[in-house]
Each structure stands twice: as structure tokens, then as C-alpha cells.
Amino acid sequence: MSTAGSHAVPPWMPDEGSQNALRDNKTTYRDGNLALVVGAGVTMNSLAVPPWMPDEGSQNALRDIKTAYRDGNLVLVVGAGVTMNSLASSQKQVPQDVKDRLTWPGLLRHGLAYVKEVKGDLNHLSFLEKKRFNSYESALQDNTSDLTTDDLIDIAGLFKKSLGQDQLPNWLERCFRRLYPDYIQGETIGVLQAIQALRFGGARIMTTNYDDTIERFCGTRAVLPQNDIDMAEFVHGGQDGDIPGVLHVHGHWKDARNAVLDVVDYHQTTSDEPLQEVLQQMFNSTEVLIFVGTGDGLNDPNFGGLLRWAKEKLQNQANRHFVLMKDGDTSTNRAVVSPVFYGRQHSDLAPFLQAIADSKVVYEGP
């Protein structure tokens, strides 16, 4: 076996002459005889903006978010981007198919394939439904960027009808049951650690995700809109100051009956009085909502529906809610949420959230 690789000098390691000079400088420093001659470059470097540091407008928004957090008024609305970020940070090998299911087109593509797996020749569909099914299947394979939100909702409706309510639990279980234990559990995931710290400091967490990544990492439970007691605790706090679980606005993979997938499900959700009371209170009160892990995906059916509802209900309300976005992303929902740019790369999201968490001292006991 060759040992050449073990003798290679890392990129940051100085040459031999510099190493000798470094030893001399360290000796001089220990003896108290070292003087530094500082040039303008040091000042220029201190003024440089770190990669994760937001623009000036976002810095002002960040102060508002930190104030809301310290006052106990911060709510995180978590999207699929957080789970995607977690998978990207995992040291485990994550199949592309697993990653795809976290996007709306990818999930529907998987769903249509599952229909053909369990239903076979699709003879239970009408001629026109079968034609639409094949057309949508091709569109999801070829170029999903051409699909509109209405297209995706229509595909979801056809998928749900094609699959049948009896098979929906099996499909959701296949999509999400093994996601956390197989690819995230036991990993050091910065964005999840930051969200966990924010929750521990009093921030409440809502999500439109079907997976259970957030609650399992945080060691808590899922809160479903159909559970009145859990919903009341989410809004008002539990007994003895217990921190509420994670509210799944659009359902959970373990509760397929209430999973929001198509326009019919969405209508039922918007007619759910306890959930609407919670959402309206969140948007109307002193709460500050920050949408995390959505980026420009606010236009997908999950978040788009929630924001359209908020826009209709809050036409005369001041805009004090935020969506965290990467530099270069755009938002078409500024009437409801203001964009806050957390950095240039997706990896900048974790330190940005951690900076919010670190702004509040949380007493952990003796």
C-alpha cells in the first residue's frame, strides 16, 4: 500500500520554512516579545459580511423576530425544506427517490406509480380519467416546472380517487414511516438542533409536512387538528408550563383520514372551526410567524392554500410575519409575509436559526 497520501501536505498546512518561522513566533509570543504590525487588511476583513449574515432589511426583521421570541410570541411554520435540509446534512446514504418524495411533484409521481403497482391496469377508471392519469404521469416525469399549482391539485385529486381511501394509509406509511429512523435518527443535524432549541425556548411549531421528523427529533408528539384538547394546549400552553407538540396543519402520515391532499381535503380543512380559530388567532394576535423551509415554494399547494386563507382573512392587518429565504429566491406573497434572506446557501439556514435561539437565555435548572 502506498504511503504517499499519508505524507501529503493539507492545503492549509504551511511549507517547511513557514513551519519553522511559526515555531519561532510562538516562542517569541510565549516570552512576551511579540509585536504585531497591523495593516488595513485586518480592518477590511472585520467589516466583511459573513456568508450567513442577512441584508440590512433582513437584519431589522431579525431583530423583530428575536423580540417576538424573547416575549414568547414566536411561531415557526415548517415546510418540507427543513426535512430536505436534514437529509442533505445526514452522513447516511439517502436514495434520490426518498428525497423526491419531499417535493410536491415528487410525492405525486411516487403516488401515481403506487397506484399502478396496487391497481394494475387502471380499469377501475373511466376512459377520460385513464387518459388524464397517463398525461399527468408523463408530465411529472418530463418537466415539472411547467405544472401550475392548480395542475398539482388536480393531479392529487385524480391520484386519491385512483388509489382509493382504503389504500391511502399504506401509501403514506411507505412514503414516510422509515424516513426518520433510516436517515436522520442519531445524526447531528444543525437545522433540527436549532429548531429544537427554539422550541425549548418557547417557540411553537406548526407544519404542513406529513413526516414526523420535527417531533421525533425534539422528543415530543404530533398535534392533530381533530384533537380539541391538544389544540387548546397548543394555543394556551399545557399544564405546568409544558411545551406543546408539533401541530400538523395538513395531517400526518399516521392519520391518513385527515391528510390534506386535494381541493376537497383543503375545503374540509378551511371549514374546520377549531383549526381556523387557531390559525386566525396566530395571524391576528401578537404572534409573529416565520415560515421556515419553504423558500419560493410558498406557491406549492400546501403553503399556498394556507397563505391564501390568511390573505383573505387579514386584508387590513399589518404585515409582521416573515418567510426565510435564500438569497436570489423570490416571493409572490408579500401581502401576507415579508421575505427575510438568511444567507447564500441552504446550509446558512441552521446558523441563522441558531442565532435566534441564542438570543434568549433559557434556564435549564441546577
Domains of the chain: 56-93+187-357 (3.40.50), 96-176 (no CATH)
Q: Which amino acid is at 207?
A: T
Query: Cell 445526514 belongs to which residue?
Result: 90
Q: What's the whole-number mean pLDDT along residues 204-224? A: 93
Say if residues 92 and 188 touch (Cβ distance below 8 Å). Answer: no
CA–CA dist 102, 209 (Å, integer): 9
Instruction: Confirm if 78 and 130 have CB atoms less than 8 A apart.
Output: no
pLDDT at position 240 over 80: no
pTM: 0.77
Cell 421556515 identifies what position?
292
Assess whether pLDDT exceeds 60 at residue 318: no
The edge-to-edge listing of strands for the beta sheet with 337-343 is 222-223, 246-248, 204-207, 74-78, 288-292, 321-326, 337-343
**Average pLDDT in the 243-250 region?**
87
245: nearest Cα among 255, 253, 237: 237
Span 294-303, average pLDDT = 56
331 pLDDT band, cuts 50/70/90, is low
Average pLDDT, stretch 71-82?
90
Phi/psi for 291 (5° steps) reads: -85, 120
Tell me what pLDDT residue 136 has: 92
Task: Identify the residue whose cell numbers are 394509509.
Answer: 169
CA dihedral sign, ordered 116, 135, 146, 77: negative
**Section 325-336 average pLDDT:** 70
pLDDT per residue as tens digits for the range 139-155 = 998 767 678 878 888 89
66 close to 359: Cβ distance less than 8 angstroms? yes
Q: Dihedral of the CA atoms 352, 354, 359, 363 (nearest 10)?
A: 170
Phi/psi class of residue 84: alpha, beta or left (left: φ > 0; alpha: ψ in -120 to 50)?
alpha
The pLDDT mean for the chain works out to: 78
- Position of cell 399549482? 149
Q: Which amino acid is at 204?
A: R
Q: Cβ–Cβ contacts within 10 Å for residue 195, how many?
A: 28
pLDDT attached to residue 49: 39
Confidence of residue 12 (pLDDT cuts 50, 70, 90): very low
Q: What is the mean pLDDT of residues 329-337?
A: 65
- For the cut 90, the answer to whether the pLDDT of residue 193 exceeds it is yes
